[in-house]
A and B are shown apart, each in its own frame.
Chain A
């Protein structure tokens, strides 16, 4: 069974930084591109960023480019979202998901709240 567990969310002040983690199991993690997707309260889903299987390529949504960085550690089946210069509109539930035809599997998400 595919499982994805996100962690690291919390309350952070505007302009602050936070790193989210995602650990995958039940599939060959190193064979999949991985994505972060977020959902602000009461809003639609928004793709944030994704990374190639070997970590050699990464792509970002315009809304986070230059502020967020993604990395992965295939030896630990882990995927990370390093967030800096956080703003109120970054408040959201952040999900990780392996890429495929759509996103067949999702974690439960971790909540990030940006507020003073």
Chain B
């Protein structure tokens, strides 16, 4: 299953809303996770099961979607949220998207 993320880069001002998209080449039901990764660090799980926040993740992060179309929304970007975000399906084996870089506008 191929995961395609868009856009590749998203330029956003602090305090603004960010919307990231992830599309699967076939249905993955709700077996979809989102990760945040900062330079030199391991990924951090934000969302699993398409819409469930992982332990300790702030409420400004939300996930939605099912089947082949998914969205990660960051309601009000904080300085620590500028990073690369990956989606991953775990319905059939495990594959990651190519990432969306959220940068300061």
Contacts and interface: CB of A to CB of B under 8 A. Distances in A.
Given A101-B33, A104-B55, A45 B88 contact: yes
Interface stretch (B13-21, B64-72, B73-81, B91-99): B91-99
- Chain A's interface size range is 10 to 19
A88 B35 CA distance: 27
A95 B48 CA distance: 19
Interface of B: 31, 33, 35, 37, 42-45, 47-49, 52, 54-55, 86, 88, 90, 93-99
A104 B42 contact: no
Contacts, number: 53
B45 A103 contact: yes
Interface of A: 35, 44-47, 50, 59, 61, 95, 99-104, 106-109
Contacts of A95: 42-43
Nearest to A107: B42
A44 B45 contact: no
7 contacts: A44-B97, A50-B94, A95-B43, A101-B33, A103-B33, A103-B88, A104-B55
B50 to A, nearest CB: 10
